[in-house]
Structure 1
C-alpha cells in the first residue's frame, strides 16, 4: 500500500455573541434660578465603540445621552440634557483582534434622587458584541493509493473582512427647535466587489414652541471592504454618534457610525473513515463544534397598544410629545421558515389636561412578538436589535391613549454545527487474507455501501460490480456476495 497521508487546514469562523451590563449615572441641574416642579418624562440613549481589541478582550467606550422633560416652578414645560461617558471591557476567549461589531441599548432608567435643584439618574446599559471566532482544524484529505476513504461535506463561514465607517447626514430643521432626538436605522447592507453599500435613514423627532414634528433623512454610503464580492453576505449596525449645528445654520449635521463584517459561505470535505485491504489502520478521530452565520436581514413592522389612565390622573385632551421611547428586544427564536422576535416598546406620552390646565404624563409599554419569514430552521440561534422608526399617540377617550410604533429590526441568524473527521492515520499490522473463495453479508438496517465494503473487505467499486442487483439506499436484509480469487497451490 502506497501510504501517503495528506492533511489540510480549515479555518471555521463561527459567529459568537458576548455581552455585559453596566450602570451609568448622571446628575442633571436645571439652569440657575429654575426649579424642577414635576418630572414628566425621562429618556436615555446609549452609544458604544471599541477603542482596542485584543485576543480575548475588547476595550470599549461610550456615552449615555440623558434628557428629562419637566415642569418648572411656574408650570412651564422645560427640557434638560446631560451626557455621561463610560468605559468598560468585555472578556471572551472568542474575541480576536479587530473583528467585532458592537451594539448597546439602555434597558432601564430610574430616578435615584430628586430635589428642586437637581436630579440624579441611573441607567442600566446592555452592551453586546458579535465576533467571528477563528477555529482552525487539521484534517485528513488524502491517504494514498490502496486506501479507501469516506468523506463528508460540512458547511462553514469565513469572515472576509471587518469594516467601520461614518456618514455625515444633514438634517433640515427650523431654527426655533426646543429639543431634537435623532436615531438611525438600516434599510439595506449589500456586499459588492471590494465594497459594501449601507443605506438607511436618520429619523429626527423635534419640538418647537408651536408643534411637534418628525423628519426622515435618508443616507447611503459606500465603504471599502477588501475581499468582498457580490455574492457574499454583509451585515452591519448603525447608530447616531454625534450631533452638531451645521455650518449653514439650516439644521444639524448628524454623524452616523457604521460597523459590520462581510462573510463567505464555504464547505470542506474531510475524510471521516478509511480502511485498507492489506493493513489495519490506526485512526485518530476528532469532533469540533462551531457555528455558521446563515442569514442577516432587516425588516419593519407595526406594534400598538392602549393605556388607561389610572384613577386620580387628569384626563388627556391633547398629546404634546412622546419623549424617551425605546425598543427593548427580550429574545428571539427560530421556527421552520420563520424568525420570531419578542420585546417591548416603552414610551412616555406628555399631554395637556383642560381639567388641571397643565401638562401631565403617562408611561406606556407595548409588548410585541414579531414574525418574519426567512431562511431559518427550528433550533437556529436568533440575535436581534431594534429601533423605533416612528411613534405616535392618539387620545381615544379622555382616560384612554392609543400608542402605535413602527419598529425596525436587525436580525442575525446562526446555527450550531459539529464536524467529525480523521485528524491522523497510520499503518497497522498486515491483514490476513480470507481463506474462503466467497462470503455472504446480509445488509443491516441503515447500512451504506461504505459499511458493507468495510465489513466484507472489498472496495465499494468491487461490491457494486459483483452485485449488480443492489439498489441504494439499502432497506436492510439484502444479501451481498463477495467473490475472491484463489491461487491454486503447487503439488509437491
Structure 2
C-alpha cells in the first residue's frame, strides 16, 4: 500500500531566444504646406512594439518606427522645418518550439537610421531594427512531493529554490504642465523637435504601498518668429511621486521596476503677456513593477520499489531562478571635435549605446561598446543649424561576489541625464549616466515526477544469491540499489559504507539477494 502526496508550482520556463534584424526602406513626399528640402540636417527615431503574438512555430511582432527629420530649406520665411511620422512594420520570427499560450518578450532596438532627399519634395528613410526575442512558458507543474508506503518504496528527494512572480503591476502616470521661455526670447514659430526623459530616483516600501519617486525632463527645439528665422531650445525638469498599492509587499522581495514612455502631446500657447512663449505638454508614462519571491519546494526526483516494477510519469523542466536584481549607474564623459564649421551654440544631444560585448572576468561584469552621439548645434560659420556625429567607446564595469560571478547575467542598458557643452569653437564635451539593470539567473534542469504506479511484482528467483560488485566511476549507492531493487538500508547492513554513503570508484561491495 502506498499514498502519493502531490503539490504544484508555477514556473516561467525559458524556451528559446532569437535576435532578428528588420530592414525598413521607405520614400515619402513632404506635405504641401512644407518648404522644399535644401539639406537634411538630422534624422532620429525610436522603435516601438505595439503587439506580440505567439503561435505554433512562430512569434509575430507588430510595431513602428517613430522618426523626426529636421531639414534646412531655401525658403527665406521658413529656413528650418521638421517632419515627424511613423513607419509601421510586421515581422514573423520562426520559433520551432513556440506554442500558442506561451509568452514572448521583445526588445526593439533601432540599430541604424539615415535619410536622403533625392528631390526637393521627397525624402527616403532607411532603418535597421534589431528584435531581441525571448520565448518563455509560464505554466503550472504538478509533482510528487512525498509518499507514504510500507517501506518498499525508495525515493530520492531534492530541495529546490526558484523565484515566483507574485505580482505584476503597470500603472500610468500623467504629467500636465508647461515650459515657458524667458523674457528675452523671441516668440515660437514652430516646434521642430520634442524630447522627453523619465527616470526613477528612489523606491521605498511603506506598508502595502510602494513609493516611486523620479524626475521627468522635457525639452523642445523650436524655430523663432523673427527676421533671422533662428532656432531656440528650452528644457525643464519636473519631479514626480507615485504610490503603487500591492498586497504582501516586503523589502526582501526582488523588484524589477522600469519606465516605459508613451507619446507626449504638446501645443504652443500664449503666456500672461499674450506672447507665444509657452509650450503646454501632456506626458504619460507607465511604471512597470514585477515583484518576485523565493519559493522552496521538496520534490521527488527518482523512485523505485523493492517489490514491484514502477511506472513513473516524469518530465524534465528547465528551472530558472532569479537570485538578485541589481541596478548600477556609471558616470560617462568624453569629447570630440565637429567636422563642419564652428560651434556657436549647442541645442540638443542624443546619446544611444551600442553594446559589442558582455563578459564576466576576474569577478567583474564588464560591458564594452560605443556611444553614438548626435549633436544639433548652431554653426557659427553659416549661422544655421547643423549636426555633428561621433561614435565613442565606453566600458562599464561592476564588481561581483564569487557566487554572483557564477550566475548567468542578463542586463539592460539605458541612458539618462545626457548633456553637452562647448569647449572652444570646435570641441564638444558630452556626459551622461549609464544605467545598467542586471538580473542574476541560476538555471537548472530537474526531473519532476508527476505520478507513480505499481505494475508487476519483481521476480527475484532468477537473481544470483550473492554478487561481488565493483563500483563504477560516477556511480552512487542509489544507482546500485535501484539496479538490484534493494533498499539502501539493506545494502548498508551487509556492507561497511561510510557515514556519508559516498563510495569511491573501484570499491568492492556485496550484493545479497533478498529472500
1:235-384 matches, cutoff 5 A: 235-245=256-266, 251-283=280-312, 286-309=315-338, 313-314=340-341, 316-329=342-355, 332-334=358-360, 338-356=364-382, 358-373=384-399, 376-378=404-406, 380-384=408-412
Give the corresponding residue for 1:12: 11
Equivalents in 1 of 2:381, 2:325: separation in Å? 50
Alignment RMSD (CA, Å): 4.5
Equivalents in 1 of 2:23, 2:469: separation in Å? 66
CA deviation digits over 1:58-83, x for unaligned, max 9? 77665433223333325976241312
Matched, 1:185 2:199: yes
CA apart distance, 1:261: 3.1
- Judged with a 3 Å threshold, the aligned counterparts in structure 2 of structure 1 residues 156 and 37 are, in CA distance, closer, same or farther, namely same
Give the corresponding residue for 1:489: none
2:263 is paired with a residue of what secondary structure?
A: strand
Equivalents in 2 of 1:291, 1:184: separation in Å? 31
Equivalents in 2 of 1:28, 1:190: separation in Å? 51
How many residues of Structure 1 are paired with residues of Structure 2 in the alignment?
479
Give the corresponding residue for 1:134: 138
CA deviation digits over 1:356-388, x for unaligned, max 9? 555543211123332234574446152424234
CA apart distance, 1:151: 1.1
Give the corresponding residue for 2:173: 167
CA apart distance, 1:282: 4.9
Equivalents in 2 of 1:28, 1:388: separation in Å? 34
Matched, 1:216 2:250: no
Contact 1:101 1:237 in 2 (8 A): no
1:56-205 matches, cutoff 5 A: 62-73=63-74, 74=76, 78-84=80-86, 86=88, 88=90, 103-128=107-132, 132-143=136-147, 144-145=149-150, 146-170=152-176, 172-175=178-181, 178=191, 179-187=193-201, 198-205=212-219
CA deviation digits over 1:266-319, x for unaligned, max 9? 343332233444445455654333433444343322334443455xx43x3434
- Judged with a 3 Å threshold, the aligned counterparts in structure 2 of structure 1 residues 101 and 446 are, in CA distance, closer, same or farther, namely closer
Find 1:404's aligned residue among 409, 423, 431: 431
Contact 2:194 2:221 in 1 (8 A): yes
Equivalents in 1 of 2:73, 2:244: separation in Å? 47
| Runs of at least 5 residues in structure 2 that lack an aligned partner in the other structure | 182-186, 225-230, 272-277
Equivalents in 2 of 1:84, 1:485: separation in Å? 78
CA apart distance, 1:149: 1.0
| Runs of at least 5 residues in structure 1 that lack an aligned partner in the other structure | 487-492
Of 252-261 and 420-429, deviating more is 420-429
CA apart distance, 1:234: 3.1
CA deviation digits over 1:390-412, x for unaligned, max 9? 132433673x5443332233444
- Judged with a 3 Å threshold, the aligned counterparts in structure 2 of structure 1 residues 334 and 188 are, in CA distance, closer, same or farther, namely farther
Contact 1:441 1:479 in 2 (8 A): yes
CA apart distance, 1:418: 0.8
- After TM superposition, the score normalised by the length of structure 1 is 0.76
Contact 1:334 1:379 in 2 (8 A): no
